[in-house]
């Protein structure tokens, strides 16, 4: 989609509807209300944003998403939209509040995110054929053009990265294997100043990654422990770790058949890290970032781990594997320990880690855990700006007895109570004293319900926007 910025004359306002002529139409302007009136003003879509006092960037994103899909359904191919030049009392915009550049970014994101479709495997050529080819943002104040263009470009980079992450997660397990994730990482190396190295099964075994290799035992697909490094700045790196289980069958502790097909998105964390690193490179952020994707299938093959097996993690700690379906924390434990080699300034991990997180928060919030108030605060601020909601959860030591093993240092499950917390507390054992945040994205990574304004069904690409915003804020300091 081509994105342009053009000037427009200042229109007179008539009630809630800005219009040039004497035409009056019935339109209340409530949030997400849309109305096309082909007779009076052909080709015009009226889009409700609700009360000005309650306007937020995410409402703009949603409204533009709704407009874009409505226009596509009506057969339109081009959109021109006036840039909102208003104040945002309900947005905590951080330093300097919400700028025109932020508004342009949100508008572009809304459109690109909403128009996403996953139809690589549809052979019927009539399906969803219509495409929006052009989006023009109209500004009244010429002096704002440059910042609007900048915001639009950022919005384009970010939304395209989210959509790429969505595609990776929507791809089925027979296509999106650990080797394919490796290829995706290598593609970034071609286009951007990002270096990539990959540990094969034998390398990971030789290093002593007994937990990650334990998970990978049951699959014939070669596991790939993928490390990306972007050196846009000097100093200690930020470590971004993404759970990358390309299919989670549960292993010997096999999952029930119902909804098991969805477990192709168990690599959503890894996809988010790839997307965020790509955008960081596009924006040339002056940061040092290390991305780690411990990719593997979790399958019940002949060599698979048995429940009761004890594995030795890279850290030296031993883990009794009570349930082979609690594989994410095993992969992440070794990835966290591995990241410590880089002496990171902070570790952020993203993982579709627990079903308990879906029970606790449903589809609309990421569970946020961490050991450092400043880092938690920074992530929360990025969350407010992006509309990717996070909700803080405790990782208190009171829960530790649930993951203490009789025969090893730790067990990989803590029973049903507080399932997300005990999973986070398990990870915490490997973090040492580095500032760390764990984002459980199990609930938000997949939209199994109706499409939302800018979130179609299937993978949501969760985490990309949140990570990018965090990185932008960090770079701006």
Nearest-approach distance from CB 78 to ligand BES, in angstroms: 39
Q: Which stretch binds Mn ion (CB under 5 A): 158-166, 320-328, 407-415, 468-476?
A: 320-328
Q: Which is nearer to ligand BES, 214 or 232 (CB)?
A: 214
Q: Among 266, 320, 334, 384, which residue interacts with Zn ion (rule: CB under 5 A)?
A: 266
Per-position DSSP letters for 211-256, written without gaps between them: HHHHHHTT-SSPPEEEEEEEESS-SSPEEEEE-EEEEE--TTSPPP
Strands 288-298 and 224-231: antiparallel
Of residues 363-422, those binding Mn ion (CB under 5 A): none
Percentages (nearest 5) of helix, strand, coil residues in the chain: 35, 20, 45
- Provide the CB-side half-sphere exposure for 457 (13 A, CA): 5
Cα separation of 375 and 28, whole Å? 42
Decide whether 167 or 244 has the Cβ nearer to Zn ion: 244
Minimum Å distance from CB 356 to Mn ion?
12
Give the closest residue to 411 by CA, choosing from 333, 337, 328, 310: 310
Stretch that binds Zn ion, among 32-40, 94-102, 283-291, 326-334 (CB under 5 A): 326-334
Q: Does 275 bind Zn ion (CB under 5 A)?
A: no
325-354 residues near Mn ion, rule: CB under 5 A: 325, 327
Residue corresponding to tokens 């993978």: 459
Which residue is at the shortest CB distance from ligand BES?
355
C-alpha radius of gyration, the chain, whole number: 23
How far apart CA 4 and CA 248 sit, in angstroms, is 43
In the bound state with Mn ion, the residue whose beta carbon lies nearer, of 167 and 298, is 298
Catalytic site positions: 255, 329
Q: How far is CA 460 from CA 117, 125, 258, 302, 444, in A?
A: 11, 25, 21, 34, 7
- Min CB(323)–Mn ion separation in Å: 8
**Given the rule CB under 6 A, which residues bind ligand BES?**
248, 266, 323, 325-328, 352-356, 358, 413, 419, 442
User: Minimum Å distance from CB 216 to Zn ion?
Assistant: 13
Q: Which one of 193-201, 242-250, 357-365, 403-411 is the stretch in contact with Zn ion (CB under 5 A)?
A: 242-250
Nearer to Mn ion, 309 or 325 (CB): 325
Region binding Zn ion by CB under 5 A among candidate stretches 142-150, 327-335, 419-427, 448-456 = 327-335
Stretch that binds Mn ion, among 173-181, 245-253, 276-284, 302-310 (CB under 5 A): 245-253
8 Å CB contact between 165 and 116:
no
440 binds Zn ion (CB under 5 A): no
Question: Quick one: 248 or 334, whose CB is closer to Mn ion?
Answer: 248
Number of other residues whose CB lies within 10 A of the CB of residue 34: 15
Return the DSSP state at 92: -
Q: Provide the phi-psi class of 208: left if phi over 0, else alpha when psi is between -120 and 50, else beta.
A: left
Which region among 4-12, 52-60, 320-328, 414-422 touches Zn ion (by CB under 5 A)? 320-328
Query: Which residue spans within 388-427 are E strands per DSSP?
Result: 390-392, 410-411
- Indicate the Cα dihedral angle 242, 245, 246, 249, nearest 10°: -160
Q: Which of 175, 315, 340, 318 is nearest to 241 (CA)?
A: 340
334 binds, among Zn ion, ligand BES, Mn ion, none (CB under 5 to 8 A by kind): none
Task: Provide the minimum distance between the beta carbon of 285 and ligand BES in the complex, in angstroms, as a whole number.
Answer: 30
Residue 103-132 contact track with Zn ion, rule CB under 5 A, x = bound: ------------------------------
Of the chain, the end-to-end C-alpha distance in Å amounts to: 33
Site string for Mn ion, 203-242 (x = CB under 5 A): ----------------------------------------
Please tell me the total number of residues recorded for the chain in this structure: 477
- Please select the residue that binds Mn ion; options are 102, 184, 248, 334, rule is CB under 5 A: 248
Name the β-bridge partners of 293: 226
Task: Please identify, using beta-carbon distances, which residue of 110 and 419 lies nearer to ligand BES.
Answer: 419
310: β partners:
320
What CA–CA distance (Å, rounded) separates 68 from 110? 8
Closer by beta carbon to Zn ion, 114 or else 445: 445
Q: Contact 319/410 with Cβ under 8 angstroms?
A: yes
Identify which of residues 93 and 307 has a Cβ nearer to Mn ion in the complex. 307
Residues that bind Zn ion (CB under 5 A): 245, 248, 266, 328
Residues that bind Mn ion (CB under 5 A): 248, 325, 327
């Amino acid at each position: 989609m081509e994105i342009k910025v053009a000037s427009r004359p200042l229109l007179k306002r008539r009630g809630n509807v800005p219009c040039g002529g004497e035409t009056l139409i019935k339109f209340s302007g409530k949030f997400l209300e849309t109305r096309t009136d082909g007779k009076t003003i052909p080709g015009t879509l009226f889009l409700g944003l609700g009360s000005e006092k309650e306007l937020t960037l995410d409402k703009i994103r949603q409204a533009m998403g709704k407009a874009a899909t409505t226009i596509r359904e009506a057969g339109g191919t081009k959109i021109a939209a006036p840039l909102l030049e208003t104040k945002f009392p309900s947005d905590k915009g951080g330093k300097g509040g919400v700028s025109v550049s932020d508004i342009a970014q949100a508008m572009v994101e809304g459109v690109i995110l909403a128009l996403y479709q996953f139809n690589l495997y549809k052979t019927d050529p009539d399906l969803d054929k219509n495409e929006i080819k052009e989006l023009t943002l109209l500004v009244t104040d010429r002096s704002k053009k440059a910042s609007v263009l900048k915001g639009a470009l950022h919005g384009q980079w970010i939304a395209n990265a989210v959509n790429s992450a969505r595609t990776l997660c929507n791809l089925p397990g027979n296509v999106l294997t650990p080797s394919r994730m490796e290829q995706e990482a290598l593609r970034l190396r071609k286009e951007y100043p990002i270096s990539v190295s990959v540990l094969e099964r034998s390398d990971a075994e030789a290093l002593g990654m007994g937990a990650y290799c334990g998970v990978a035992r049951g699959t014939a697909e070669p596991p790939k422990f993928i490390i990306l490094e972007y050196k846009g700045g000097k100093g200690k790196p930020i470590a971004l770790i993404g759970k990358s289980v390309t299919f989670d069958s549960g292993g010997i502790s096999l999952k029930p058949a119902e909804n098991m097909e969805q477990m192709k998105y168990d690599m959503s964390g890894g996809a988010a890290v790839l997307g965020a690193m790509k955008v960081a490179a596009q924006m040339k952020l002056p940061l040092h970032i290390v991305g780690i994707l411990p990719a593997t299938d979790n399958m019940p093959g002949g060599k698979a781990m048995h429940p009761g097996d004890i594995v030795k993690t890279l850290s030296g700690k031993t883990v009794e594997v009570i349930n082979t379906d609690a594989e994410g924390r095993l992969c992440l434990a070794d990835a966290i320990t591995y990241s410590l080699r880089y002496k990171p300034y902070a570790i952020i991990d993203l993982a579709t880690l627990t079903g308990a997180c879906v029970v606790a928060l449903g589809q609309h919030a990421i569970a946020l855990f961490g050991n450092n108030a400043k880092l938690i605060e920074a992530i929360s601020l990025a969350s407010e700006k992006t509309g990717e909601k996070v909700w803080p959860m405790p990782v208190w030591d009171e829960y530790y007895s649930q993951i203490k093993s009789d025969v090893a240092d730790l067990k990989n499950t803590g029973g049903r109570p507080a399932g997300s917390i005990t999973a986070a507390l398990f990870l915490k054992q490997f973090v040492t004293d580095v500032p760390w945040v764990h984002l459980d994205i199990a609930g938000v990574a997949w939209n199994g319900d109706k499409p939302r304004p800018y979130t179609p069904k299937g993978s949501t690409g969760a985490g990309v926007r949140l990570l990018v915003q965090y990185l932008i804020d960090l770079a701006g300091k």
